[in-house]
Structure 1
Amino acid sequence: MRFNFSGLQGIYNQAINDNEKTLAFQLNNGNGRFVFMMFFDDTDDSKDKLFIFLRNINFLVKLKMYGSHRQGTFDVYINEYIQEKIIEELQLNGNHGNFNFEDFLIELNTQIPATYNRANRIQTIRQIWNNLDNDFTNELVDEAERIILKGIVHLPEGKSPREKTLRKAYTYIDANPDDISELLESLKERNITLSWTDNPDLEISFADALMRIN
């Protein structure tokens, strides 16, 4: 079936206007816990895809989005297999009673927030990161094996930090989500990126990273 998640329009437009490249938020419906994720960086293969992580059953739904997102068109095609997975997430019993899948999607669509919160986004990703399969996490970050913060790098003029590099901060820096948001905002404003390693002897602290920026 085809469905338009039109409720994404507000939060999508806010992210684009704010130059945010990552969205993540959780919707609770019945017994189901649905984590919506979108990634907008031009270097992401996942651009123009909607990811919904079903937390009860640890299953990731990947949906290609069609239409003019700015105008509120987020058409996706949901096959029978995905429908059954979503119903499984809802923990419905037997023949599902009077459950109507399209009515459920309409209700879920109305729950989508109109705006996002940077700190909540980071907290949401942290909560599910270890439950995501390696292939997917490798899509989201550069050099997934390098997760130890080594330092900062000032980029040459005209070159911007890659979201896939900055995104590691969400899960691999032990700091308050609000502080992480401020860090990433400062990096983007000053055209600085983070450097990562797999050598624990080279690790620097979050405080050290801030000092090197300032």
Structure 2
Amino acid sequence: MQGNWFEFNFTGLKDIYGEARRGDLLTFAFSLDAGRGRVSFLVRTPQDKEGQPILNDSYAIIALDRSRRWDRYLLLGNHMRAGNFKVRIRSFFAKAIAEEVCGVGGDTTGFSLNAALADINTRIPHRLGGPESLSSLRAVRAVMGSDWSKEVDDGDKTHVLSFPRLTLPRRPRENTLLKLVGCDKPESEITELLEVLRAQNTTVAWSAFPPKSDPWATRPRRGDRASAPAVPQEPAESTHDFERGYFRAVAVLLRDVGAVTPEVRRVFEHGGRPERASPDDAALFTQHGLFGGPHE
């Protein structure tokens, strides 16, 4: 330890970070076993207001799954050429790592922080994990609890309004897309949706209240203030909201492609129940022969 921190270079991040950068992916996560515990990493490259990456500010959130502790670290050094990802582990988190590796409440006598981090470094995957990455994102979110709101924009806005296409050089903000992580849907489906949104340069417009045009939204009771929901609302985990939004994203892809390609059909089949599609999207899908209508 140097004072209140210990420097370690996570050189094992080079391959997976490089793959993410080559694919313009600004957020990825992975989990790995560490002694008797389990550690999840969330690696992010922040964006400016236009959605452009701020490459020198990449950071990692390290979450200890069993001891429920986490910390955020700026990644120092030249990442792409030299493969340096130096972090300065704070003393309180070094103790938390010892507890995670040795077991919560276990004997930490003889524990070596450098040896533990070196072992973690060798276990870092070399390739991006697809749905496994989303599972790790959820693990980080669970450990962070209410602090997760710092990683997303407008945490109080949990209802999907629309999927607007952006004009380059503007790009979707990861702080907006990451809110989909909280949806109560399988990792594979959310991963598929995120891939579509990023590929189509499409973002998500969120609202604090269900949209009025949503036939499944909870309506305010008579006499209630219009600005407040009638009853406590479900968060973005609402299955109705997610399925309607998923079909809307597929509609964006279909309009862009103009035909039912294998990619469109593959994404469509993950969408959930057809009756959750909006009337406009249902009409588009009917036109292209994907299903007979919103209530088939």
TM-score, normalisation: structure 1: 0.87
- Percent identity between matched residues is 27
Partner of 2:153: 142
Q: Deviations over 1:61-98 (max 9, x none)?
A: 2222211111211111223322111112222634x344
Please tell me whether residue 200 in structure 1 is matched to residue 205 in structure 2. no
Q: How much has 1:59 moved relative to structure 2?
A: 0.9
- Superposed CA RMSD in Å reads 2.3
Which of structures 1 and 2 has the bigger CA Rg?
A: 2
Larger RCO: 1 or 2 (CA < 8 Å, sep 6+): 1
Give the 3-state SS of the residue equivalent to 1:72 in structure 2: coil
Give the 3-state SS of the residue equivalent to 1:180 in structure 2: helix
Q: How much has 1:157 moved relative to structure 2?
A: 4.3
In 1, are the aligned partners of 2:46 and 2:58 still within 8 Å (CA)?
no
Partner of 1:119: 131
- Structure 2 runs not aligned, ≥5 long: 1-5, 215-240, 255-296
For residue 51 of structure 1, the aligned residue among 52, 61, 68 is: 61
In 2, are the aligned partners of 1:6 and 1:72 still within 8 Å (CA)?
yes
Q: How much has 1:120 moved relative to structure 2?
A: 0.9
> In the superposition, relative to structure 1, how do residues 63 and 53 fare at CA in structure 2: closer, same or farther (>3 Å)?
same
Counterpart code for 1:175: K
For residue 76 of structure 2, the aligned residue among 66, 83, 96 is: 66
In 1, are the aligned partners of 2:196 and 2:249 still within 8 Å (CA)?
no
Please tell me whether residue 160 in structure 1 is matched to residue 163 in structure 2. no
Partner of 2:106: 93
Q: How much has 1:30 moved relative to structure 2?
A: 1.6
For residue 78 of structure 1, the aligned residue among 79, 84, 89 is: 89
Q: Deviations over 1:159-194 (max 9, x none)?
A: 22212111222223x433333333222223322211
Q: Deviations over 1:7-65 (max 9, x none)?
A: 01111101100111111111111211111111113238994222110111211122222
Partner of 2:249: 209
In 2, are the aligned partners of 1:35 and 1:55 still within 8 Å (CA)?
yes
In 1, are the aligned partners of 2:42 and 2:62 still within 8 Å (CA)?
yes
Give the whole-Å Cα distance in 1 for the aligned partners of 2:169 and 2:75. Answer: 31
In 2, are the aligned partners of 1:148 and 1:197 still within 8 Å (CA)?
yes
Please tell me whether residue 102 in structure 1 is matched to residue 107 in structure 2. no
Corresponding residue pairs, total: 211
Partner of 2:198: 188
- Structure 1 runs not aligned, ≥5 long: none
In 2, are the aligned partners of 1:38 and 1:47 still within 8 Å (CA)?
no
Partner of 1:11: 16
TM-score, normalisation: structure 2: 0.65
From the two aligned structures, give the one with the greater strand fraction: 1
Q: How much has 1:205 moved relative to structure 2?
A: 4.2
Counterpart code for 1:27: L
